[in-house]
Amino acid sequence: MEIKLMRVDSRLVHGQVANNWAGTLGAESILAVSDGAAEDELRKTLLLQTGGAVKVHVLSVDKAARVYKNEKYATMKAIIVVETPADVVRLLDAGIEVKEVNIGGMTFKQGTSQLSQAVFASPEDVAAFKELNARGITQYVQMVPSTGRDDLMTVLKSKGLA
């Protein structure tokens, strides 16, 4: 599988991902990787309808790792979207290989810190970001392909979180 983009986005699949990112990168599939969404039939059904011209698959973390390793999908050009940076760590631990991760949107919750207009991170998220950085994974904040990227570790340092 050719991963065109690994993205953290708490909404998983929506217009920015299905239209802007998939179209710009030439992805033919979006893998919405979430244990919770994969087990919730209503949420799964709704996510499957969001892709437009791009095929959406809703998978658990374990199943996404199996699909990634399956030769049947070797030529698939995909975007992988997860809800949390901890899910990226889990995917790496399961054998998925990426060099960089897009931090696109993480919604506000009680106890989170605002990193950008669309990114709020909990202490657990920051710990996962640090783990990814320690593994040599480049992380950047970017909502859509037409906007600039900001290095996540620089953003964390500016907020006193690194």
Domain range list for the chain: 2-158
Question: Selecting from 3.90.25.10, 3.40.35.10, 1.10.10.10, 2.60.120.640, what CATH number does the domain 2-158 have?
Answer: 3.40.35.10
Distance CA 35, CA 105 (A): 18
Residue 57 known to be catalytic: no
| Per-chain mean pLDDT for the chain | 95
Quickly state the pLDDT bin for 82 (edges 50, 70, 90).
Answer: very high
Distance CA 145, CA 42 (A): 30
Amino acid letter, residue 33 = V
- 119-142 average pLDDT score: 98
Any idea what DSSP says for residue 106?
B
Tokens of 138: 């480049």
Which residues on adjacent β-strands are paired with residue 79? Answer: 5, 30
Active-site residue, from 1, 5, 14, 54: 14
Check residue 51 and give its pLDDT: 77
Check residue 153 and give its pLDDT: 98
Residue 156: CB partners within 8 Å, gap ≥ 6?
115, 126, 129, 162
- 27-49 average pLDDT score: 94
Does position 15 have pLDDT exceeding 90, yes or no?
Answer: no
